[in-house]
């Protein structure tokens, strides 16, 4: 399995705030014929509906949205600091215009229900459970709308059941 070993999510030890906000992650969906990935630093992990879940937020104009919408599953890939430049590239370039894996040297793996990258230190395979648009009418703090959505391009939120966790062996 490309140097990965499945582990129980309950056995993991990490700070989710550091993992997502500071280290970033790649959100990836598709198949061996067609896939895309994007860097994300907004999201969350927790328990909901008797499941361990991920929360990811994707703006509608992102190319990755097409793939997450189309597929049943997506992956979240976490990397060590040596991949910061690759993650920065994946967050600032569109897969419509370039081959992100080719440009960054990341190696896609297609042995699960969602593609992931061989260089990741940890991978969550997530099955979509819910999708909902962020509704600006729900902002209690009006500064969020102005600060985070000047273009009014509100994210779609996906909640995924974390069905498998892979860590580098």
Query: Domain limits of the chain?
Result: 4-168
pLDDT at 33 over 70: yes
pLDDT at 1 over 60: no
- DSSP reduced 3-state for 33: coil
- What is the fold, at CATH topology level, of the domain defined by 4-168? Pnp Oxidase; Chain A (2.30.110)
pLDDT digits (tens, 9 = 90+) for 39-92: 999 999 999 999 999 999 999 999 999 999 999 999 999 999 999 999 999 999
Band (pLDDT 50/70/90 cuts) for residue 169 is: confident
Name the E strands within 9-140: 25-30, 35-40, 43-48, 51-58, 73-78, 108-109, 116-117, 122-133
- Sign, CA dihedral 3-108-81-155, equals negative
Q: What is the mean pLDDT of the chain?
A: 95
Residues with Cβ within 8 Å of 92's Cβ and at least 6 positions away in sequence, in order, are: 39
């Amino acid at each position: 399995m490309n140097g990965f070993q499945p582990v129980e999510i309950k056995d993991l030890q990490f700070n989710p705030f550091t993992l997502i906000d500071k280290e970033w992650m790649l959100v990836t969906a598709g198949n061996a014929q067609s896939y895309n990935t994007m860097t994300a630093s907004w999201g969350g992990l927790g328990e909901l509906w008797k499941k361990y879940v991920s929360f990811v937020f994707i703006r509608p104009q992102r190319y990755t949205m097409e793939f997450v919408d189309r597929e049943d599953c997506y992956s979240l890939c976490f990397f060590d600091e040596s991949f910061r430049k690759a993650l920065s590239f994946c967050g600032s370039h569109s897969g419509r215009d370039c081959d992100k894996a080719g440009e960054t040297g990341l190696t896609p793996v297609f042995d699960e229900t969602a593609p992931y990258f061989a260089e990741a230190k940890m991978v969550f395979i997530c099955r979509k459970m819910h999708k909902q648009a962020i509704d600006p009418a729900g902002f209690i703090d009006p500064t969020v709308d102005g600060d985070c959505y000047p273009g009014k391009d509100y994210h779609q939120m996906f909640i995924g059941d974390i069905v498998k966790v892979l860590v580098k062996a």
